[in-house]
Amino acid sequence: MDFKKLKFQTRQIHAGLDRHENTGSRGVAIYPTAAYRFKDCNHAARLFNLSEAGNIYTRLQNPTTSAYEERVAALYGGVGALAVSSGMAAILITVTALASEGDNIVASQFLYGGTYNQFRHTLRRLGIEIRIAGNDTPEAYESLIDSRTRAVFAESMGNPTCAVADLEAIARVAHSAGVPFVADNTFGAGGYLCNPFDWGADIIVDSATKWINGHGTAMGGIIVDSGRFDWGNGKFPCIDGPSEGYHGLNLREAFGEAAFIVKCRVDGLRDLGASPSPFDSYLMMIGLETLSLRVCHQAESTRRLAEHLRRHEKVKSVSYVGFEDHPYHALTKKYFRHGGSCVFTVELRGSVETTAKFVESLELAAHMTMIGDSITVVTHPASTTHKQLSESDLLAAGVTPTLLRISVGLEDVEDIIADFDNALSRIEI
Ligand SMILES: *Cc1c(COP(=O)(O)O)cnc(C)c1O
């Protein structure tokens, strides 16, 4: 079926299902198997040398996971997707597929704390340099690009500041340097709020742990390939050149527009091993069926709660991209649909101590480090997700000591507002 003709809400339910599956089952089956029987030795050889697609071993491929990958690829309109065990694994596999020792990646300053650590510490130790742009203008990215740059990386909406990347401008800068633009679209909620492929991104990574799963029940990450980047420009011999791990096979010649996502599977998953559990892929499939409904509810509740808190005397400021005075309001309107964001940040009046007292006084909203969950979550980035950052890195990432990140859940927003009011009433300022 050509899913491009169908609306998002239809694709999130139908893509990845096999109508001719021989049990007649309505949904996808969970295949809890590590390995698959070969028909004969020739069949095995064809699978191993990539001349025939098929299941060998669940580290590389699993039918439940394939169905889930097909669904996500259809939602984003990509040529293919690869599911991995976490968002961090998706970023690691993507970056190491593109860059080798001595190469560099140019990245936005507004990064999730975990990404920051992977980039600044682990990848640096592997000899891949990450150059963080000094500000978010296209010129700031451009000035860091050189002949060893292999990608430009940005979060479509930064965690936790909600700074929106100027996707179109960044894609232009990356393409004029002959490198792909990789967008972490976790805040774009599986493509429902934002699809960076519409704006020139070449590769999407998404922490499926968040909105794709939507219920806080599993970890996962997904890489999606637009199929549009030209890997034949000489900068990517590991894609357009002899593959040492496959007897000199040229992935670009063998797999055409799907070369990158194939590489992530046959090298990235094979060698790094961050494969998802088939059961978790099943949970992601179920989560996706209601993605748009959940996100619409959450975006509307986010607006209500942000407006309510902005009027509260114990609140110093509310940073919500839906407010016209938000510095990223215009970019949100350009790149994000359906209400823009299900996350916003708040600074209370008072100190770090009163902020902690407020968090501990919430009864419904959970104090966790999570977003996109069906439960409303309040996070204190300075003491959790961004704890490993230095003070100057914290400020550069827009994280102040009393900042709270709020991810609005699926409860009735009236109850959440009452919970916040009650907790605010317990603090003295
Ligand atoms: C959570 C998150 C990640 C990491 O994903 P995990 O599934 O937790 O490994 C990466 N990027 C962003 C923007 C995130 O919010």
CB of 148 within 8 A of CB of 315? Answer: no
Distance of alpha carbon 191 from alpha carbon 7, whole angstroms: 12
For 322-331, how does the pLDDT look when each residue is reduced to its tens digit (9 = 90+)? 999 999 999 9
Q: Whole-model pTM?
A: 0.96
pLDDT at 352: 81
Distance of alpha carbon 224 from alpha carbon 69, whole angstroms: 9
- Reference 28, options 292, 293, 294, 281; nearest CA is 281
pLDDT at 181: 98
**Cα dihedral sign for 309, 383, 121, 226?**
negative
For 17-48, how does the pLDDT look when each residue is reduced to its tens digit (9 = 90+)? 998 888 999 999 999 999 999 999 999 999 99
- Whole-number Å distance, alpha carbon 39 to ligand 1 midpoint, is 40
Mutate to test the pocket of ligand 1, among 84, 85, 93, 112 (most ligand atoms within 8 A of CB): 112
Distance of alpha carbon 344 from alpha carbon 302, whole angstroms: 8
Cα R_g (the chain), whole angstroms:
22
Where b means 16+ CB within 10 Å and e means fewer, 321-353 reads bbeeebebbebbeebbbbbbbbbbbbbbbbeee
Strand order in the sheet with 221-225: 80-84, 221-225, 203-207, 181-184, 149-155, 104-107, 129-132
159 lines ligand 1 (CB under 6 A): yes
Mutate to test the pocket of ligand 1, among 109, 159, 379 (most ligand atoms within 8 A of CB): 159
Confidence of residue 140 (pLDDT cuts 50, 70, 90): very high
184 lines ligand 1 (CB under 6 A): yes
115 lines ligand 1 (CB under 6 A): yes
Distance of alpha carbon 319 from alpha carbon 304, whole angstroms: 13
Distance of alpha carbon 69 from alpha carbon 281, whole angstroms: 9
For 238-297, how does the pLDDT look when each residue is reduced to its tens digit (9 = 90+)? 999 999 889 899 999 999 999 999 999 999 999 999 999 999 999 999 999 999 999 999
Three-state secondary structure call for residue 375 = coil
Ligand 1 closest atom vs CA 158: 13
- Does residue 386 register a pLDDT over 80? no
Burial of 102 (0-12, 13-18, 19+ CB in 10 A): exposed
- Does residue 383 register a pLDDT over 90? no
pLDDT at 245: 86
pLDDT at 397: 67
How many residues are present in the chain? 429
- Reference 336, options 183, 217, 234; nearest CA is 183
88 lines ligand 1 (CB under 6 A): yes
pLDDT at 248: 94
Distance of alpha carbon 373 from alpha carbon 376, whole angstroms: 7
Q: Structure tokens of 272?
A: 């790094």
Question: What percent of the chain is predicted at pLDDT more than 90?
Answer: 88
Distance of alpha carbon 119 from alpha carbon 369, whole angstroms: 20
For 195-208, how does the pLDDT look when each residue is reduced to its tens digit (9 = 90+)? 999 999 999 999 99
Mutate to test the pocket of ligand 1, among 122, 155, 186, 213 (most ligand atoms within 8 A of CB): 186
156 lines ligand 1 (CB under 6 A): no
Q: What are phi and psi of 313, to 5 degrees?
A: -70, -20
Q: Structure tokens of 396?
A: 């550069």
- Does residue 380 register a pLDDT over 90? no
Residue-averaged pLDDT of the chain: 95
